[in-house]
Amino acid sequence: MASAPPAANLPLFYKDLMPLNSRDHASWKSRSTDKAPWLANIHAIPLTAEEFPNAQRFTPIIFSADEIPVPLALMGLNEGVNVFTDESGQLTGNIYVPAYARRYPFMLAKLAQDSEELSLCFDPTAGLVGEFDEGSTLFADGQPTEATTAALEFCKNFEEAGMRTQALVEELNKHELLIDGEFSIQRPDQADQPFVYRGFKMVDQEKLREMRGDVLRTWTQSGLLAIVFAHLFSLDLIREIFALQVQQGKGPIPAEPVAAES
């Protein structure tokens, strides 16, 4: 069904990265847009743990099947399908947009492999940062403006949330709660041939019910248990996403052979 962003030099969405600095970008501006073409064909977006309660009302939340699982918000069940955007990337439905997508085109990145220092960078191919006539000025008198400071703060908060999310995954793995997931869904017009989705992980509800009381109490106090239940509740939305795909003609179609995606 889904996997974490492919291992590559650049993460999901990003085609290039350029460090933002007052020397080269003194007169540059950032602008907003109501269309996000980078979202149009993306069916799974990384999600931080603290976003689970909001995201679970709109999208299924799963974990990638990677060695180190990554929480993902499903925008569609098949590769290249996003039921919440049109072809231009404009949102067409009520949806929670993950922070991973909202930080684009900015992100924090290491400029040197031997350094742990992170610098604010941006994707120059996005068309959202440049020498525009209109937009938010990024530097004034050589100093970062409020717009730049806000982007930096957002990216810092995202990185911190990512570390907390990694701790959540480690805790789930520690108790062997993440198992291989599988969903079988039938189209009304093809009831004899279900579509089976695999290639993801989910929390094992049986093991969760068998957890020791002291562990569950700790999880309740830390908020982790609420996050786990948000994930489990969200899985009911998988059938709704499937129905939206069929309604929008985005597949799967009856003529296709059933095939699990990963």
Q: In DSSP terms, which residues pair with 18 in a beta bridge?
A: 122
182-212 pLDDT, tens digit per residue, is 999 887 766 677 888 999 999 999 999 999 9
Under the banding of pLDDT at 50, 70 and 90, the label for residue 253 is low
Give the model's pLDDT for residue 187.
Answer: 75
pLDDT 10s digits, 120-141:
999 999 999 999 999 999 999 9
Q: Read off the pLDDT of each residue in 143-149 and give the average, rounded to a whole number.
A: 97
d(CA 261, CA 252): 12
Q: Which DSSP helix (H) or strand (E) runs through 119?
A: strand 118-122
pLDDT value at 262 more than 60: no
Q: Helix or strand or coil: residue 135?
A: coil
Does 86 have pLDDT greater than 50? yes
pLDDT of 222-233, one tens digit each?
A: 999 999 999 999
What pTM was computed for the model? 0.89
> Residue 108: beta bridge partners?
120
Q: Give the pLDDT confidence of 44-82 residue by residue, as tens digits.
A: 999 999 999 999 999 999 999 999 999 999 999 999 999
CA–CA gap between residue 106 and residue 110 (Å, rounded): 13
The per-residue pLDDT for 168 is 95
Per-residue pLDDT, 261: 45
Average of per-residue pLDDT values in the chain: 90
Residue 63 near residue 179, CB atoms below 8 Å = no
Model confidence band, residue 155 (pLDDT cutoffs 50, 70, 90): very high
pLDDT bracket for residue 94 (50, 70, 90): confident
pLDDT category of residue 255 using cuts at 50, 70 and 90: very low
3-state secondary structure of 256: coil
